[in-house]
Amino acid sequence: MLAAVAYTDALAASPVVVAAYRIGKTDPDAKLVRTFHIGNSLTDTIAGGMQPLAASAGKPMDFHRFTIPGAPTDWLWDHPGSGFGDPRYLEAFFVLAPIHHLFTQPFAGHGRSIENEAEYSGRFFAACRKHSPEVQPWLYVQWPGPKFEDNWSRGKVDKLPLKPATTWQEGVANHLAYTEAVRERINHRNESKPVLIVPGGLGLALLKTQMDAGKVPGMTDFFKEIFSDDIHLTAKGRYLIALVHYACIYKESPEGKVSALTSGLSDEQAKLFQRLAWEAARGYRWSGIK
């Protein structure tokens, strides 16, 4: 793996650019996987890291995104040309075809409902399917902040029968229940490939449980290690979310296959994160892993 930063006089350093290189042969049977990710800053959790992670395992990936910080899915649909990545998504769906995996991030804030989310995520899936009929649609689960005081954690989400969370992990479960309700609504009226779910929050919940039990070497404070603010993740947290995506996309464990990249994890810690990501994906019924 190579990481590069540009410097010049009187200016701040550039962002770190990471690229993975393999010594030896790449799997000759590995085919290019093209992914497209739609959401807000939590979708950007894996931007810049997903493609080099896959490359470190010898798997060529073409990663694309359309994100607007703080934006729910209906706002994204109504504002093509804004934000980051490939904001003119309809043109991108045509130019990039075939797209193999399309991800949206349900966002129940700002008064949005399950029906609203299903409608607009469904619109993105249908638009992509016009040019990539075999695309796999995904919903990407977010997570509560350290204080888990959002509406999901309080059990107040669009009339879902959720109990107020008493632990952070229960807050994650409420987020997941909301996403599953969106999935069910989309699939109920969709005759194409069923929507699957990337259980990113579950991976974080497993890590917190392990850390609280003293089973993560060198780490004891989950929120200090994993969160950079009240919702966004550190390099270590972003690495875990990228690993969960890897497990779902390739339907295999990342253990021993991928690099630790710039996560700041030791080899032992990285292997544990890889195992937990696989446990989260393999153990979840809507991840598509049998």
In tens, the pLDDT along 43-69 reads: 999 999 999 999 999 999 999 999 999
Beta-bridged to residue 101, according to DSSP, are 35, 136
Amino acid at 223: F
Q: What's the mean pLDDT in 32-52?
A: 97
In-domain check, residue 6: no
From 1-5, 31-35, 75-79, 282-286, the region with the lowest mean pLDDT: 1-5
Nearest to 192 by CA among 248, 250, 134, 127: 134
In-domain check, residue 287: no
In-domain check, residue 48: yes
Q: What's the mean pLDDT in 210-239?
A: 97
What pTM does this model have?
Answer: 0.89
Going by DSSP bridges, is the β-strand pair 2-4/17-19 parallel, antiparallel, or unpaired?
Answer: antiparallel
Q: What is the pLDDT of residues 237-283, one digit of tens each?
A: 999 999 999 999 999 999 999 999 999 999 999 999 999 999 999 99
Confidence at residue 1, expressed as pLDDT on a 0 to 100 scale: 45
Phi-psi region of 273 (alpha: psi -120 to 50; beta: other; left: phi over 0): alpha
Beta-carbon contacts of residue 22 (< 8 Å; ≥ 6 apart) = 55, 56, 58
Distance CA 31, CA 15 (A): 30
Per the structure, the complete domain to which residue 198 belongs is given by: 25-282
In-domain check, residue 1: no
Integer-rounded Cα radius of gyration of the chain: 18
In-domain check, residue 16: no
Structure-derived torsion over alpha carbons of residues 121, 197, 190, 75, reported in degrees to the nearest 10: 0
Confidence at residue 136, expressed as pLDDT on a 0 to 100 scale: 97
Distance CA 65, CA 76 (A): 12
Average pLDDT, the chain: 90
Confidence at residue 154, expressed as pLDDT on a 0 to 100 scale: 80
Beta-bridged to residue 224, according to DSSP, are none
Look up the CATH number of the domain holding residue 267: 3.40.50.1110
* Residue 22: pLDDT band with limits 50, 70, 90: very low
Q: What is the pLDDT of residues 170-206, one digit of tens each?
A: 999 999 999 999 999 999 876 679 999 999 999 999 9
In-domain check, residue 10: no
Handedness of CA 264, 13, 63, 237 (dihedral sign): positive
Beta-bridged to residue 34, according to DSSP, are 62
Total domain count, the chain = 1
Over 60: is that where the pLDDT of 11 sits?
no
Q: What's the mean pLDDT in 93-116?
A: 89
Confidence at residue 180, expressed as pLDDT on a 0 to 100 scale: 95
DSSP string, 197-237: EE-HHHHHHHHHHHHHTT-STT---HHHHHBSSSS-B-HHH
From 4-8, 22-26, 86-90, the region with the lowest mean pLDDT: 22-26
In-domain check, residue 12: no
Distance CA 264, CA 279 (A): 22
Apex 64 CA angle, 60 and 66, nearest 5: 165
Distance CA 107, CA 47 (A): 18
* Residue 35: pLDDT band with limits 50, 70, 90: very high
* Residue 152: pLDDT band with limits 50, 70, 90: confident
Confidence at residue 252, expressed as pLDDT on a 0 to 100 scale: 98
Over 60: is that where the pLDDT of 135 sits?
yes
